[in-house]
Amino acid sequence: MVADTTGAVAPHRWLRVEFAALYLGAPLAIALFLPPDRLFTALAVFSLAGMGLLWLTGGFRWRVLVRGWRRMPAWELLAIAAATAAAGWLILSLTRPEALFALPLHRPQMLLVIWALYPLVSALPQELIFRPLFFHRYGAILPQGQAAIALNASVFAFAHLMYWSWIVALMTFVGGWIFARAYQRHGFPAAWALHALAGNILFTVGMGAYFYTGNVVRPF
């Protein structure tokens, strides 16, 4: 499957300005000025704006958001689960060993809430903005092939600047690459499922120490 760019806005200067404002300007403003406890509110506004842009673009087949479950790459789900758990364990063992498995050991009820809500309130809106909107509305100004995936992974990582962590930046770049590749090959459900699974495993291992907004400390 190739990402759908049918009906994408024709390339022009303002489309590039809009792209820069959405994927560079907004994350930078959030990281620099927004209080950490307002980050999820910003994500909600960001997601609604993105959905509005996707609707205004036209030509997008909305049914693709709920179709494609039969193309779910089971082996990729297993692989990303294992790789995410291993990476999280290694990073925390070297940097914050006290955080390893903190939630399942001390707050298992909270972990259950995260597993139930993270796919819907975090992974889903992020995937809508960074996969269908990115590849559909801005398809006409994107580079070709792997370069488009690299750009997608880069802006996805930049959107996590608000955490002010090189570890988060590296992990979200790798994750963004995997999710974008899954979206292009298998469709939206696969990208969403991979993102949701990876996020939930990160919180299970203890990487909430880096991805929890309450732990954000700006370096200035």
Give residue limits of the domains in the chain: 13-215
Average pLDDT over residues 152-157: 98
Whether the per-residue pLDDT at 97 is higher than 90: the answer is: yes
* Mean pLDDT score, 103-108: 96
Percent of the chain at pLDDT > 90 equals: 62
pLDDT at 123 over 60: yes
Q: How does pLDDT run across 184-210, given as a tens digit for each residue?
A: 999 999 999 999 999 999 999 999 999
Q: Going by C-beta distance under 8 Å and a sequence separation of 6 or more, which residues neighbour residue 78?
A: none
Average pLDDT over the chain, rounded to an integer: 89
Say what the pLDDT of residue 5 is: 53
pLDDT at 4: 55
Cα distance between residue 115 and residue 110, in whole Å: 9
Name residue 79's amino acid. Answer: A
φ, ψ dihedrals at 67, nearest 5°: -110, 155
pLDDT value at 39 more than 80: no
Q: How confident is the model at residue 8 (pLDDT cuts 50, 70, 90)?
A: low
In this predicted structure, what is the pLDDT of residue 3? 55
pLDDT at 218 over 90: no
* Percent helix, percent strand, percent coil in the chain, to nearest 5: 80, 0, 20
Residue 2 has pLDDT above 70, yes or no: no
The per-residue pLDDT for 7 is 52
Per-residue pLDDT band at 169 (split at 50, 70, 90): very high
Q: What's the pLDDT at 200?
A: 97
- 202 CB burial (10 A radius; 0-12, 13-18, 19+): buried
Q: Summarize the confidence of residues 58-82 as an average pLDDT.
A: 84
* pTM metric for this prediction: 0.90
Q: Residue 11 above 60 pLDDT?
A: yes
Two structure tokens written together for 164:
């002010």
